[in-house]
Chains A and B, each alone.
Chain A
Amino acid sequence: MPAQFAAKRLGKELQKISNSLPPGIELVSANNLEEWLLDIQVLDNNPLYQNEKYRLKFRFGSSYPIEPPEVIFVKVPDRPIPMHPHIYSNGIICLDLLGTGWSPVQNVESVCMSLQSMLTGNTKDERPPGDEEFVRANRLRPKDIEFYYHDNDV
């Protein structure tokens, strides 16, 4: 259950994104302050992601926004998991923004936009190395996985 602190902020965020969202981002459902679903799509003509929408699931802990939300892609009819070298086939995303690179100033909208641009900028039609093994063996929640953000590391 989100603490009052988180609830207030989420309430404000919801109010804002219900009114307007940047192009390519749609709010699917936000029936409570724990789990929201949003769809994103790329805006340019990157052939990898043409005519596809992808569903994102946000889960907020009681320490949101001090701690990052858990964000994964979910697979439902018409909503596949996008091909990307940082996205595992079970929807788990390896992005420093959602882990060590999180700042409380980030929000649902900014996360969606970052993911949008992460897809737009990608040219590789592939999964992360070791995807099969990871998907089979992983029992951890995304926040407990120690990702090695090699692309962003200095």
Chain B
Amino acid sequence: MDTDDEFMSNVSSEDDMLPDDSDNDLSGDEDFGFDDEPDHYIIDSQKDGAEKRKAAYDISFKVYQPADVQKQQNDLIDEVNMILDISKEEAAILLRHFRWNKERLIEDYMDRPGKVLDAAGLSRSSAGPPKMQVIPDFMCDICCEDEPGLESFALKCGHRYCVHCYRHYLAQKIRGEGEAARIQCPSEGCNLIIDARSLDILVTPDLTERYHELLHRTYVEDKETLKWCPAPDCQNAIECAVKKKDLDKVVPTVTCLCGHRFCFGCILNDHQPAPCELVKRWLKKCADDSETANWISANTKECPKCNSTIEKNGGCNHMTCRKCKHEFCWMCMGLWSEHGTSWYNCNRYEEKSGTDARDAQARSRISLERYLHYYNRYANHEQSARLDKDIYHKTEKKMVQLQKESGMSWIEVQYLNSASQALQTCRQTLMWTYAFAFYLARNNLTEIFEDNQKDLEMAVEALSEMFERPITELADPKLKVEIMDKTSYCNKRRVILLDDTAQNLAEGMRTRISFWSVRMANK
């Protein structure tokens, strides 16, 4: 990808308020088609154009269904087959070998065809098409079988085994290890790849389907711009041209046709506005120490000298640290030598040594508390987001009930559905704003960020409260209007927050303003 750098410099110089000229020809985005257009300002093709301007957090992507993926592969194979004048099977193997980078394949092949063929396991020899043969006096090295009439098979490398063993070997590779495109000759140290034609005659019918499915998958797995939708049972693939190195300034959230929203960068559920790296760090941090930190914060103090964590389980205030032998008072954390014999009462709160020790302890406590502040809010929204699944089902029931009781039509109760949807997406966003905020350096921009966060949060809680009201009240036309207003307000606040954050992320990277310069202390 030699246009990367040029593309990067364009991103930084473009303004963010480009008018929507709806010329998002996505097919052109595939490789080099978007040199003149920064990708994250292109409006999301999956949305219906209702938004008049390009939101900074939107990213262009395209969803492919299984048939589309198959067609793309076939088209590429046909193309290479024509240009290089090699068989389709060989074209397919070469393409897989080059991870579907057609340009590189053609270039390399033109330069040194022999080397390319060798590397891909397609050594040229005059032998005809692969076939099973019966060779006199043949003994299979795998099963030691040598009965006459034994059918055997060998690739161009000449390592010959009986067909039975070959099939056993392939079954193990295909079914057991999930390999397909790069199965090698069974011989030790032979790297020759078994080509598609040979596999076609060797693979037994019960494996063909699995084999083709695996082949089909390698296409998506090999291409950097393609990823499978991670939702269970979803077979679609998504194409998105975001570059790995851009993941610190864009959060490429994509939506599959199945409705699943996920981040193209890390495959986790949508985590806007936090960039992938922060998400990874945050999740790791939460997995490590959130609960432990809670407990420590509530039950222990640190030795003022060596910072060992100490739990006091009884006894007087005279503490002697087991590790460093420092003697101090549990109450005021000051030196014990200043206390004399007052073992159970400490009235020396104002002493200098005690204040210093308490300060140091307070600092470490503050960093814990700071984390817990964000974690609790994050966890709260995470849990609410989980409960939203229930809410969604409840909503459906509510809507039916409402139709019966108030005589409203189906279309008239859809506002509850939109409210539920809005609640879910907004909570998802809110959740990640807290993880994000934990890593933000404090400045004017973070204050704007927190204001946006507060606005969205208040709107969401208000909507959530309305949404929970009993059916009888929901039927009230006045409340209905309120809910509809609140729903659209929530959605608007979310867009504003994401848009603003995405702009700052992109810009911060450009001008090196530390909008989200990660606080390294908070690893």
Contact = CB atoms under 8 A, between A and B. Distances in A.
B144 A104 contact: no
* Chain B facing A: main interface SS: loop
B485 interface: no
Contacts of B143: 5, 8-9, 12, 65
Interface string B175-218: 01000000000111100000000000000000000000000000
B3 interface: no
A13 B145 CA distance: 11
Contact of B187 (A5, A13, A67, A105): A105
B88 to A, nearest CB: 30
28 contacts: A5-B143, A5-B164, A5-B168, A8-B143, A8-B144, A9-B142, A9-B143, A12-B143, A12-B144, A63-B172, A65-B142, A65-B143, A66-B142, A66-B165, A66-B168, A67-B172, A67-B176, A101-B188, A103-B186, A103-B188, A104-B142, A104-B169, A104-B186, A105-B141, A105-B142, A105-B186, A105-B187, A106-B188
A65 B165 CA distance: 9
Contacts of B189: 103
* Chain A facing B: main interface SS: loop
Given A103-B188, A105-B187, A9 B144 contact: yes
Nearest to A63: B172
Contacts of A104: 142, 161, 165, 169, 186
B172 A8 contact: no
Interface in A133-152: none
B166 to A, nearest CB: 10
Interface of A: 5, 8-9, 12-13, 63, 65-67, 101, 103-106
Contacts of B145: 8
Given A66-B169, A67-B172, A103-B188, 16 more contacts: A5-B143, A8-B143, A9-B143, A9-B144, A12-B143, A63-B172, A63-B176, A65-B143, A66-B142, A66-B165, A103-B186, A105-B141, A105-B186, A105-B187, A105-B188, A106-B188
Contacts of B159: 105
A15 to B, nearest CB: 9
A96 to B, nearest CB: 11
A104 B169 CA distance: 8
A12 B165 CA distance: 15
Interface string B243-273: 0000000000000000000000000000000
